[in-house]
Amino acid sequence: MATTSPNFFEQYNKPFLNQALKRGDDVALGTIPNSKDKVIDLKTGSLHGNFAKELDYLVRNNYKPVNVSPAQWGTTFAPLRSASSFRTRT
């Protein structure tokens, strides 16, 4: 299984996250980015890989990871919701 497949997120990560969200599972991040530019290219709006797509998916579903503080959620993650045009890299 190639993790560099452009469909990897849609085929594997998204279904996994969908099931976790439906069950109400706690989601914890292995890495916590400390700024938006770690997740998206601020000039182009492109997401930086599958991890960024996962974060974007959680943010769009207003599903805060358990190991992200309310302050981090409000300053680093929640503003991603208001970005009008995320584009994934191809």
Q: What is the 3-state secondary structure (H, E, C) of 6-25?
A: CCHHHHHHHHHHHHHHHHCC
pLDDT at res. 19: 97
Choose among 70, 3, 68: nearest CA to 31.
Answer: 68
Parent domain of 48: 8-88
Residue 3 inside a domain? The answer is no
- Domain count for the chain, please give it: 1
Cα distances (Å, whole numbers) of residue 42 to 13, 25, 68: 24, 31, 22
**Model confidence over 64-79: pLDDT tens digits?**
899 988 888 877 776 6
Choose among 27, 51, 28: nearest CA to 40.
Answer: 51
Look up the pTM and report it.
0.73
Residue 60 inside a domain? The answer is yes
Residue 33 inside a domain? The answer is yes
CA angle in degrees (0–180, nearest 5) for 52-55-82: 100
Residue 13 inside a domain? The answer is yes
Residue 2 inside a domain? The answer is no
